[in-house]
Amino acid sequence: MNLTAKAIAELLGGVVEGDEQVFITHPGKIEVAGAGAITFLSNLKYESYIYSTQASAVLVNSDFSPSKKVDSTLIKVKDVYSAITTFLEFYEQSFHPEKSISSLAFIHASAQLGDETTVGDFTSISSEVTIGKGCRIYPQVFIGVGTTIGHNVTIYPGVKIYHDCQIGDDCIIQANAVIGSDGFGFAPQPDGSYKKIPQVGKVILEDNVEIGANTVIDRATMGATIIKKGTKLDNLIQIAHNVTVGEDTVIAAQAGIAGSTRIGNQCQIGGQAGFAGHIEVADKVKVQAQSGVAASIKEEGRKVYGYPALSYQDYLRAYALFRQLPDLEKRIRELEKTEK
């Protein structure tokens, strides 16, 4: 990227104060940015940095008035957070591949690709696949037989989407995620061995879902494992067969959800949280990191913590007592000695 401050101001609907012809090549943090960088100041707690930054340009709110000289060019905008988001979206586009279909990709003759869809090197698209308009499919992606993918979907390198899955519009699937692998289903046999139960269901990602790198979502035994619209999954998450995750729920890294569990809408789940199978979690529940949820949570908006997970406040009170146990034990032993 190589744009003038004037061009960036026009993109963001802002006004330039300073050198409008200074060239910007990349974003940077205000405290360490150097020449060619654009940064931003929204929280006046960090105002001191604007007087020392080496960035070529700084995005500020339109009502910002510096208390002393600023060397950088200022771009004044109505709302800094909105403006920096727009700029970063624009900047990110420069890293996307050009809209083309690589000659090194394999695309089955029966597959259907929408207009302006990009397919990278060594990607394999199987028979009866349907892909919508404006998708970006990076190199070394595998898409299985009969899978459907909506419009404006981004699939990063190494993603594996097994057969008969459904991906909605505007989804993002980060590198090396696996969608539609077999659920963990085995029938115990009289001799102590296990016989695999065929997993013949599918995975459905609704619109505007993001799946983090190395996350695995298993297909249903029958029916569908469903991630509903707007939900965001971090990296290294395991979603088992027949799970349903509600709308606009966020789940942090290394969480695991066992089979047939239903997570509600707008839940917030911390990293390394674990959920037993066949339970239900109400809407807007918050689960602290490393908590273990072994039973259904039916109260909407409840906050839980610990293993097994308790009410958040109950856990904090219990933990406060737990930390005092060594001292309490010592005092009890001293009392026992005096009684003797």
Residue 278 among the catalytic residues: no
The residues, any chain, with a CB within 8 Å of residue 93's CB and separated by 6 or more, are none
- pLDDT class of 306 with cuts at 50, 70, 90: confident
Q: Are 222 and 185 in contact (CB under 8 A)?
A: no
Residue 94 has pLDDT above 80, yes or no: no
Residue 96 has pLDDT above 80, yes or no: no
- What is the DSSP pairing of strand 166-167 with strand 202-205? parallel
Q: Where are the domains of the chain?
A: 3-95, 106-315
- What is the DSSP pairing of strand 274-275 with strand 172-173? unpaired
Q: 127 by DSSP, 3-state: which?
A: coil
Cα–Cα distance measured from residue 308 to residue 322, given in angstroms and rounded to the nearest whole number:
15
Average pLDDT of the chain, as a whole number = 95
Q: Are 325 and 337 in contact (CB under 8 A)?
A: no
pLDDT in tens, 247-262: 999 999 999 999 999 9
Residue 340 has pLDDT above 70, yes or no: no
Name the burial class of residue 173, with classes exposed (0-12), middle (13-18) and buried (19+) by CB atoms within 10 angstroms of its CB.
buried
Report residue 8: phi and psi, to 5°: -70, -40
Residue 126 has pLDDT above 90, yes or no: yes
Written out in words, the top-level CATH class of the domain with range 3-95 is alpha beta
Q: 24 by DSSP, 3-state: which?
A: strand
Place of tokens 């909105």: 82
Question: Options 3.40.30.10, 3.20.20.80, 2.160.10.10, 3.30.565.10; which CATH number does 106-315 get?
Answer: 2.160.10.10
pLDDT in tens, 147-183: 999 999 999 999 999 999 999 999 999 999 999 999 9
- pLDDT class of 318 with cuts at 50, 70, 90: confident
Cα–Cα distance measured from residue 181 to residue 281, given in angstroms and rounded to the nearest whole number:
24
Cα–Cα distance measured from residue 66 to residue 151, given in angstroms and rounded to the nearest whole number:
45
- Which of the following is catalytic: 96, 151, 241, 278? 241
Q: Are 61 and 43 in contact (CB under 8 A)?
A: no
| Top-confidence residue, 143 or 324 | 143
